Amino acid sequence: MKEAQRLASLATVFVWVGWLGIIWALIAGLLWWVDLASKEAFDFFEAFAASSAAIGGPLFLAVIVASFGHALRLFPMYVASRST
């Protein structure tokens, strides 16, 4: 049971890092979109496409880290429920 608690606390770190990465990627993409849209070389939709393409990779990796953390938190609960 002690190992399950330790694994769940480690998984919490992955969850927090993942969600902070998601928030960071969305805020960075929004700020970059506003910056590009204000320039005359880009219109509104081109700026959105460029900023979306730029944050796609970091956002995808952050979602994977958060998902891994959530799965890692569920696994100790499953193991603890099976052992009596």
Q: What is the pLDDT of residues 13-49, one digit of tens each?
A: 999 999 999 999 999 999 999 998 898 888 888 888 8
CA 4 to chain centroid, in Å, comes to 24
| Per-residue pLDDT at 75 exceeds 70 | yes
User: Which pLDDT value is given to residue 20?
Assistant: 96
Closest CA to 50 of 69, 78, 30, 66: 30
User: Which pLDDT value is given to residue 25?
Assistant: 93
Domain boundaries, the chain: 23-82
Closest CA to 37 of 22, 57, 52, 21: 52
